Structure 1
Amino acid sequence: MDRTIAVEKELTPVIQYLSEKGYKVESIEFGSDYSKNIDKYDAVVVTGMNKDFLGMQDVVSKIPVIEARGMTAEQVYWQLNTSLKQ
């Protein structure tokens, strides 16, 4: 699988699970530094604790953003696969 997924560093189980499933995963801390490079990822997984995860409230991106709050690593994986197929 040639997909690169950005995952908030707090989501260690998700990082491990997605890596095991063949995704290239980058564990990152979101902030304004990532907003300009966000399009290098195929998707982003966030904790959901910070709605303004890119440091900008009105960022427009064509990539899926998965909010992992309340989800298992497997649920995130299935949501990610569904989002990437669209």
Structure 2
Amino acid sequence: MARIGVEQSLSDVKTALMEMGHEVVDLRSAEDAAHCDCCVITGQDKDVMGMADTTIAGPVINAQGTNAEAVCQMVDQKLS
């Protein structure tokens, strides 16, 4: 399965992705995201200063306002 980077506060998403068989990595810094196939973020600090630096080539999923099941579906869609 894929290696998914997930922000620390999204514990329900982490659990659901691990149950699906994905390797889950806590996103604490840009280096953590560098080797991930996909990242899931809360969206709380997204593009705060009008700048966005990408550290991965794969998709980034904003989980703001979404439940864990919906995030898992988005991950599957992006990686398939």
Query: Following the alignment from structure 2 to structure 1, what is the Cα–Cα distance between the partners of residues 16 and 32?
Result: 24
Query: Following the alignment from structure 1 to structure 2, what is the Cα–Cα distance between the partners of residues 38 and 52?
Result: 16
Give SS of 2:17's match: helix
Query: What's the TM-score, normalizing by structure 1?
Result: 0.78
Gaps of 5+ in 2: none
Q: Alpha-carbon deviation of 1:37?
A: 5.7
Please tell me whether the aligned partners of residues 7 and 27 of structure 1 are also in contact (alpha carbons under 8 angstroms): yes
- CA RMSD, aligned part only? 2.0
Q: CA-to-partner distance for each residue in 1:26-79, whole Å, 9 max, x for gaps? A: 1222x4xx1x563410000000101149xx623264201000011110100000
**Matching residue of 1:16:** 15
Number of residue pairs aligned between Structure 1 and Structure 2: 78
Give SS of 1:6's match: strand
Query: What's the TM-score, normalizing by structure 2?
Result: 0.84
Query: Following the alignment from structure 1 to structure 2, what is the Cα–Cα distance between the partners of residues 64 and 76?
Result: 12
